[in-house]
C-alpha cells in the first residue's frame, strides 16, 4: 500500500470500530479530527485577544526552525491545513489559526471583515502569540489577507505563499456567474449543500467518511449568518483598486500557487499578482481546484521548500 493511502485506510478502520461501538457522529468527528491533528504533529490551543476567543493549532513539539502561519479561506477553518502542516512540523513551528468568524473562534457579526480589518485581527492574534516574524501562507480569502499583511507589515514576513488567493478578479470565474444569479455555493443553507460545496471547490477531494461530512455540513449550516456577513464584506473587493495598489508594497518573496481547475477564482488572475508584486513567481497545477494544500498537500509543501531554497 502506498504511503499516501495508509492514513485514510487506518482512519477508516478506527472510525468503523467507533461505529460498531455505537458512538455518535460528533464523537466520530472529534476522534477523527484529533487523530488527524496528532498524526500531523499538531495540537489545539486557544488565546484571548481583546474581546475575541481565538482557536488555533500549533506544533506538539517545538523545533529550532522558522515559524509558519497558515491562514484559511472563507467559510473554512484551521483544519484545512492539517495534512499540509504535517509535511512541515518536523522542521518549522506551524500555527494554523481560526480567523474570527470561523471554526472555533468568536463569531461576532459586527466585528468588521473587509480584508483590511482581517489583517488587523491577524496582527493582534500574532502579537498575542508572541510571533514577531514568520513565513505566512493563505488560501483564497486567506491568500488575500496574507498578501495584504505582507504589504502592511513587511518587517514581519520572511516569505509569503498564496494558494488561489482572492483580492483580484480581473478574470471572472464560475462562482462570479452563480453569485450574480443569486446562487452562492460557498454558503451551505440546507442538507446536501455541503456536498455541492466540496464538489465545486475541490477537483481532488480528500478522503472523509460520511459521519465526518455530516458534522461538517451541520457546522457550515449553523454558520450561515456570519458567513453571509463576511461574504458581503469581501464580495466586491476583487474589483477595487486598493488591494492591487497595496500589494505593490510587498518586499518579501512571494510564491503564487494556483489550481488550473479552480471554479471559485479564475487561475488567470495569478498573472496580475505576479505583475504587481516585485519578487513574485507563480506555479500552476494541472488537475487541481481551489485548495492545493488540501488536494495535493505533499506537492504543495514541496513547492514551499523549493521556493525557500531558491529565495535564499
Q: Is the pLDDT of residue 180 over 80?
A: yes
Laid out side by side, the sheet with 254-259 consists of: 42-49, 52-59, 93-97, 67-71, 134-139, 157-163, 254-259, 280-285
Please compute the mean of the pLDDT values over residues 186-202 and round it to a whole number.
96
Tens digit of each residue's pLDDT (9 = 90 or more) over 33-80: 999 999 999 999 999 999 999 999 999 999 999 999 999 999 999 999
- Name which of 57, 50, 73, 27 is nearest 211 in CA terms: 27
> Which of the four pLDDT bands, split at 50, 70 and 90, describes residue 84?
very high
C-alpha cell at 218: 451541520
What gap in Å lies between CA 40 and CA 87, rounded to an integer?
A: 7
pLDDT number for residue 311? 85
C-alpha cell at 39: 498524526
What gap in Å lies between CA 125 and CA 132, rounded to an integer?
A: 11
pLDDT number for residue 12? 53
Q: Rounded to two decimals, what is the model's pTM?
A: 0.92
> Which of the four pLDDT bands, split at 50, 70 and 90, describes residue 11?
low
Least reliable range by pLDDT among 14-18, 264-268, 286-290: 14-18
pLDDT number for residue 168? 97
pLDDT number for residue 13? 52
Q: Is the pLDDT of residue 107 over 90?
A: yes
Are 84 and 294 a contacting pair, CB within 8 Å? yes
Q: What residues does 53 pair with on adjacent strands? A: 48
Please compute the mean of the pLDDT values over residues 197-201 and round it to a whole number.
96
What gap in Å lies between CA 31 and CA 18, rounded to an integer?
A: 9
- Which of the two residues, 235 and 210, has the higher pLDDT score? 235
Are 156 and 167 a contacting pair, CB within 8 Å? no
Tens digit of each residue's pLDDT (9 = 90 or more) over 267-312: 999 999 999 999 999 999 999 999 999 999 999 999 999 999 998 7
Pairing of strands 93-97, 67-71: parallel
Looking up cell 451551505 gives: 188
Q: Is the pLDDT of residue 22 over 70?
A: no
pLDDT number for residue 132? 97
Q: Would you tell me how many other CB atoms lie within 10 Å of the CB of residue 7?
A: 17
Tell me what percent of the residues of the chain surpass a pLDDT of 90.
84
Q: Is the pLDDT of residue 8 over 80?
A: no
Tens digit of each residue's pLDDT (9 = 90 or more) over 151-174: 999 999 999 999 999 999 999 999
Largest CA distance in the chain: 57
The alpha carbon dihedral of 115, 102, 298, 62 has a sign of positive
C-alpha cell at 142: 486567506
> Which of the four pLDDT bands, split at 50, 70 and 90, describes residue 10?
low
- Which of the two residues, 13 and 230, has the higher pLDDT score? 230
Q: Is the pLDDT of residue 14 over 80?
A: no
Cα angle for residues 161, 165, 169 (degrees, 5° grid): 145
How many residues comprise the chain?
312
Q: How far is CA 12 from CA 124, 183, 210, 245, 295, in A?
A: 39, 34, 11, 48, 19
Amino acid at each position: 500500500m502506498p504511503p499516501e493511502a495508509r492514513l485514510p485506510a487506518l482512519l477508516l478502520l478506527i472510525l468503523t470500530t467507533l461505529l460498531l461501538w455505537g458512538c455518535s457522529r460528533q464523537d466520530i468527528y472529534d476522534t477523527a479530527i484529533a487523530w488527524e491533528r496528532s498524526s500531523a504533529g499538531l495540537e489545539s490551543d486557544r488565546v484571548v485577544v481583546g474581546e475575541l476567543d481565538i482557536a488555533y493549532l500549533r506544533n506538539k513539539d517545538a523545533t529550532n526552525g522558522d515559524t509558519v502561519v497558515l491562514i484559511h479561506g472563507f467559510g473554512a477553518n484551521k483544519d484545512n491545513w492539517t495534512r499540509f502542516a504535517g509535511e512541515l512540523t518536523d522542521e518549522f513551528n506551524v500555527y494554523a489559526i481560526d480567523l474570527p468568524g470561523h471554526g472555533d473562534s468568536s463569531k461576532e457579526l459586527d466585528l468588521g471583515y473587509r480584508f483590511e480589518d482581517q489583517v488587523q485581527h491577524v496582527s493582534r492574534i500574532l502579537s498575542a502569540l508572541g510571533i514577531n516574524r514568520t513565513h505566512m501562507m493563505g488560501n483564497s480569502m486567506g491568500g488575500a489577507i496574507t498578501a495584504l499583511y505582507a504589504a502592511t507589515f513587511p518587517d514581519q514576513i520572511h516569505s509569503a505563499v498564496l494558494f488561489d488567493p482572492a483580492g483580484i478578479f480581473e478574470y471572472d470565474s464560475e462562482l462570479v456567474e452563480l453569485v450574480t444569479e443569486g446562487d452562492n455555493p460557498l454558503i451551505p443553507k440546507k442538507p446536501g449543500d455541503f456536498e455541492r460545496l466540496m464538489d465545486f471547490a475541490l477537483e481532488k477531494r480528500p478522503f472523509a467518511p460520511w459521519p465526518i461530512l455530516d458534522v461538517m455540513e451541520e457546522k457550515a449550516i449553523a454558520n450561515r449568518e456570519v458567513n453571509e456577513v463576511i461574504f458581503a464584506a469581501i464580495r466586491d473587493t476583487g474589483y477595487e483598486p486598493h488591494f492591487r495598489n497595496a500589494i505593490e508594497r510587498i518586499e518579501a518573496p512571494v510564491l503564487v500557487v494556483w489550481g488550473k481547475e479552480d471554479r471559485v477564482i479564475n487561475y488567470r488572475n495569478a498573472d496580475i499578482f505576479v505583475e504587481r508584486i516585485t519578487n513574485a513567481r507563480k506555479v500552476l497545477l494541472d488537475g487541481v481546484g481551489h485548495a492545493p494544500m488540501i488536494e495535493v498537500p505533499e506537492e504543495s509543501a514541496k513547492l514551499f521548500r523549493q521556493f525557500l531554497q531558491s529565495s535564499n
